Amino acid sequence: MAIICRLLELPSESASRLQANSARLPDAIRTAKVYSDVYRYWHAIEYLLTRHAPTTPAARWLDSGTAVSASSSEIPAARLVPASEVAQLNQLLQGIEPEQLVPYYDAAALDAAAVYPETWREWEETFDPLGQVLEHYSFLQSRARSCAEAGNSLLLVFEDLADGAV
């Protein structure tokens, strides 16, 4: 099981409908035409941003906007980030290059801080998790920029992805 974070762009009309009635979340997800994801690296991205720029909203990007679903013990609530917050988040993220996050990466520290999925040291034996985190951070930057340029809201949706699924 992998908990992934999808990044969906919502035009203002769709965002307004979802904000007014969170029961529309499945429709908002189904009809989103522009999206990407930060896969299972969402928590590590936040961890590195928190170490790099602890007092900025970028450091707490997973808490941006408002919850539009309930969370569970394993899966965070979906969050709707309004266009105005996306514009601010975008400005902050564009000012932080992926390479600036490298000094804050320490697999043992991520595991000790219970950063999802808590397998950072194990992963270092078989692949480059830092490279994956930085690549997915650039996906977050790209989606924030796209939303900000279009004046769209950003919907963060967390999903349980079956092992082996991509």
In the chain, the DSSP E strands lie at 2-10, 35-37, 66-67, 79-81, 153-161
Confidence of residue 1 (pLDDT cuts 50, 70, 90): confident
- pTM of the predicted model, to two decimals? 0.93
Structure tokens at 101: 């996050």
Assigned domain for 108 exists: yes
pLDDT digits (tens, 9 = 90+) for 111-165: 999 999 999 999 999 999 999 999 999 999 999 999 999 999 999 999 998 765 5
CATH of the domain at 103: 3.40.1760.10
pLDDT digits (tens, 9 = 90+) for 59-102: 999 999 999 999 998 899 999 999 999 999 999 999 999 999 99
Assigned domain for 130 exists: yes
Tally of domains within the chain: 1
Assigned domain for 91 exists: yes
User: Tell me, what's the pLDDT at 162?
Assistant: 76
Average pLDDT over residues 25-44: 94
Q: Provide the residue range defining the domain that includes 99.
A: 2-161
Assigned domain for 17 exists: yes
Confidence of residue 24 (pLDDT cuts 50, 70, 90): very high
Choose between 166 and 68: higher pLDDT. Answer: 68
Helices 83-94 and 129-150: crossing angle in degrees, nearest 10, is 130
Assigned domain for 103 exists: yes
Indicate the length of the chain as a whole number. Answer: 166
Assigned domain for 166 exists: no
